[in-house]
A and B are shown apart, each in its own frame.
Chain A
Amino acid sequence: MSLAEIWFGLFIVIVAGYLILDGFDLGVGILHLVVARTDEDRRTMLASIGPVWDGNAVWLVLTGGVLFAVFPLVYAALFSGFYMAFMLVLVCLIFRAIAIEFRSKEPGSRWRTGWDLAFAGASTGLALLLGTAFGNIVQGVPLDSAGNIEMSFVDLLNPFALLFGVTTVVMFALHGSLYLLLKTEGVLHERIRALVPRIIVLFVALIALVAGVLFLDDRQIIHKFTHDIWPLVFPIAAMVALYGVWRMVRDGRDGDGRDLRAFVSSALMIGLLLIAGGIGLYPTLLISTTDAAYSLTTANAASDNNTLVVCLIVALIGMPFVLLYTSGAYYIFRGKAHVESGGY
């Protein structure tokens, strides 16, 4: 196994880390206007992600940095090819960060409502854009011989890719709602608990639609699963995890530990779905629809071995620390979220 192939795997792990961690705080944003009715509710929602959202968002920065370092040709093609989409991602990221930090710093109701809209809109928009971008990656892009993508923003918004976008929004909403079950209590908690089964039903319908479209169109990503049996373990395990979420939430009561198991199951499900996607794409990172020879793969898009080794050493030294203080922060802020003076 080459270093580039190891990095393909690690990259999938990093993306999974991002989706699992930032996924729940994006989900909280998606649900912000749906479940939180009073100012108190909204502050509780924000307080639940307040101490951790910034650390979660760093995983996206890390994803970009690692792609730049390890697969620079993919990074260059993707970011320049999806120019307007990434511009909108940036607008969402900026608005979201500012909305979370600024919202409760002024008492005015117009100030707060404005930032509530910005927070919910930016969270939903971000999930939609990232999902749509992933849909286009699965579908393949018009890569030319120089490794550039010629694609307008409107081309990106094709129905196939948008289906991935909407599915991502619902997946994050589910993940975020399970996180909120851990962090809220009382009326807000019960309102969210009543909503979870509906989100699950919607998500199952969308996943079935995605799978159906992939098989009917006979996409490249599906070939691994039709030629071999073992890769099917991952999507099946993901669906088992989803069933676990359903069971835990249905039988759960606030504080009996089942909510935590539901959240962990949902995190597992996201990770497994991403691994399934990674297996489907491997060893290709970016499929060219112009000519298969132009596709960017672990063989032709990776950095040289020196860089890959340096990055591996950086990861080996750095990641234990990352896990240490991330888990430390989650531990200290464990338990139900409370609204504080001067806080969120």
Chain B
Amino acid sequence: MDPELLSRIQFAFTISFHFIFPPISMGLGLMLVAMGIVYIRTKDPKWRQMSFFWVKIYGIVFAMGVATGVVQEFEFGMNWADYSRFVGNVFGSLLAAEGVFAFFLEGGFLGLMLFGGNRLGPRLWLFSIFMVTFGAHFSALWILMANSWMQTPEGYTIAQDPAPARAVMTSFWDVVFTPSFIPRLLHVWDAAWTTGSAFMLSVSAWYLLKKRNVDLAKANLKLALPFFILFGVANLFMFGPNMAIEVTSQQPLKLASMEGLWQSTSCAPMFLLGWVDVATQTTSGFSIPCLLSFLAYQDVNATVAGINSFAPAATPPINLLFQVYHVMINLAPILAGIGVLGGIWYVWKRRIFQSRFVLWLLVLSVFMGEMAITAGWWTAEIGRQPWIVYNVLHTADGVSPLLSGLDVALSLGLFIGLYALLFLLFLFLLNRKIQAGPEPLEAVETVAVSSLPDTFREVFRKRPHGAGPPPPTEPDGTPLPQVDTAAAVDQPPADLDQAPADLNDDMDGEGRS
């Protein structure tokens, strides 16, 4: 068993699984911020009720993202030790910065976001939600910066002495702002927003189809739809095409391979569907004439460089790249189209609420968004092959030298089993929460909103004491009477009966509504 191939499969598998969740953390987070703002402006309790519901969903998704996120940081060292030795100076420092700047932000505010509803006033709760969402975006920023350096490395020299050879940072700002960084960042953020708003639409549309929580679902759909249209259209006409320009100028071989363009061609076509036969160097399928030239150079007559104009040894797996790229590129107009269709159906006498066809399209939109994102990442990463750092270090030279194929096979098997189990549990739990729907405000609110601290001064002056009625004694004030341990084991603690509301909820808790 080849440890390099297995390591590549393992990394691809673990990061693809991980990246199901961050787009939701970013996109749904943004929707929750919008929802919080609407609540503060309108004071309509239905938004507060929806916030409680969505924050619970957010917690489940976020937990999956956190749990599967640390894996990659370990894998760089475990499977890609020579890569780590080579890039530690540059890539490692960006990862460390991600930890300091982004992860602590998320970690610090996550608790406040998940439990802030009954501890903080609406403004401070919104602030916590904003900070977690901001942290998720910030984390994506650093990781895209690091990945963009692997795609279009700049700001370094290669030092040979003392061994081992390594990339040494010459300019931090050049490392940060490599040519591909900003276009890729905007493209990925927008894709995450599209998918996150699609998630909210999907659940709302499903409620409408099932005639449950109808009023809430209508309001929710109305909130998320404009965002979904905006983000979907933006990627189709702005951030996506911007990527084509970037790849054309920085990684022309990748562009040619994505489209299966063998010979340099003027008025080069763009395929909708097709198949690349690498042996005969032909690409066949349905194509739109001149579109590739237009996207690459904004000129239908421009000549796009073909695969054969580059060194033959350095090509990625062309047909695989072609296929995943076309999954992404075909989903882009479909997603934007669903949004626009939904928009028209909404404006036109609110037909959207009755149209089962459009509602079903909205239900499916989140899956399409996730699929497009995964396909997009595969395009970026497969298109970089056979390099791990583009035109600098081969993937084969990055793998840990003493790694045994058996060990990687074992760990890969473990990951597949573990992630399959996790995914089933995740779907089970998510489905339960969605089926149960938003609980009535009286069931989730344990304290009156007006009594919660809503400015920093109030937080640090009052004694916020968690959910539930104020505790019978000051927690650090009067000491509880000493309890004889042996006797106390059989008796309920003295203050149990003073907080009955806290105790009864757990056995029938979520299943009630």
Contact = CB atoms under 8 A, between A and B. Distances in A.
A340 interface: yes
B108 A329 contact: yes
Interface string A69-112: 11111011111110110110111011001101110111100000
Interface stretch (A51-59, A227-235, A276-284): A51-59
Interface stretch (A130-138, A172-180, A214-222, A311-319): A311-319
Contact of B96 (A50, A69, A84): A69
B119 A94 contact: no
A29 interface: no
A107 B510 contact: yes
A270 B227 CA distance: 50
A15 B494 CA distance: 41
Which residue among A60, A90, A322, A343 has the maximum number of chain B CB atoms within 10 Å of its CB?
A90
Nearest to B156: A306
Contacts of B209: none
A80 B403 contact: yes
Most buried by A among B93, B101, B114, B496: B93
A319 B108 CA distance: 13
Contact of A80 (B78, B91, B488): B78
A319 B369 CA distance: 36
B287 interface: no
Interface residues of A, number: 96
A98 B96 contact: no
A322 B166 CA distance: 31
Contacts of B85: 72-73, 76, 147
A329 B111 contact: yes
B112 A329 contact: yes
Contacts of A146: 164, 401
Given A72-B89, A75-B77, A90-B70, A326 B104 contact: yes
B289 interface: no
A332 B88 contact: no
Contact of A256 (B71, B479, B489): B479
Contact of B99 (A61, A80, A87, A186): A61
A185 interface: yes
B177 to A, nearest CB: 14
B82 interface: yes
A338 interface: yes
A104 B76 CA distance: 34
Nearest to A329: B108
Q: Is the interface of A mostly helix, strand, loop or mixed?
A: helix
A70 B92 contact: yes
A39 B503 CA distance: 10
Nearest to A313: B172
A69 B159 contact: no
A60 B96 CA distance: 11
Interface string A37-57: 001100100000011101111
B92 A65 contact: yes
B429 A315 contact: no
A126 B414 CA distance: 17
A341 B467 contact: yes
Contact of A310 (B112, B114, B120, B169): B169
Given A60-B70, A107-B509, A186-B494, A148 B100 contact: no
Interface stretch (B37-45, B56-64, B275-283, B293-301): B56-64
Contacts of B507: 107
Contacts of A105: 60, 429, 432-433, 510
Interface in A142-181: 146-150
B508 A83 contact: no
B478 interface: yes
A339 B507 CA distance: 12
B411 A84 contact: yes
B498 to A, nearest CB: 11
B444 interface: yes
A83 B78 contact: yes
A104 B82 CA distance: 43
Contacts of A86: 74, 77-78
Contacts of B480: 185-186, 253-255
Interface stretch (A187-195, A243-251, A261-269): A187-195
B477 interface: yes
A209 interface: no
Given A58-B107, A94-B67, A50 B115 contact: yes
Contacts of B114: 51
B467 A340 contact: yes
Interface in B469-484: 471, 475-480, 482-483
A303 B88 CA distance: 7
A116 B402 CA distance: 37
Contacts of A54: 66, 106-107, 110-111
Contacts of B450: none
Contacts of A66: 96, 99
Nearest to A183: B475
B465 A335 contact: yes
A291 interface: no
Nearest to A252: B479
A71 B131 CA distance: 31
Contacts of B432: 105-106
A188 B97 CA distance: 41
Contacts of A149: 402
B59 A101 contact: yes
B400 interface: yes
Contact of B502 (A57, A62, A340): A340
B415 to A, nearest CB: 8
A314 B97 contact: yes
A65 B460 contact: no
Interface string B422-460: 100100010011000000000110100000000000011
Interface in A319-344: 319, 321-322, 325-326, 328-329, 331-343
21 contacts: A51-B114, A62-B100, A69-B96, A76-B82, A76-B84, A84-B411, A91-B414, A97-B63, A105-B60, A304-B89, A307-B93, A325-B109, A329-B111, A332-B119, A332-B464, A333-B111, A338-B502, A339-B506, A341-B506, A341-B509, A342-B505
Given A253-B479, A340-B118, A341-B446, 13 more contacts: A58-B106, A61-B103, A62-B103, A65-B73, A65-B99, A81-B402, A104-B509, A187-B493, A188-B493, A307-B93, A315-B100, A326-B104, A333-B115
Interface of A: 39-40, 43, 50-52, 54-58, 60-62, 64-66, 68-73, 75-81, 83-84, 86-87, 89-91, 93-94, 97-98, 100-102, 104-107, 146-150, 185-188, 190-191, 193-194, 253-257, 300, 303-304, 306-307, 310-311, 314-315, 318-319, 321-322, 325-326, 328-329, 331-343
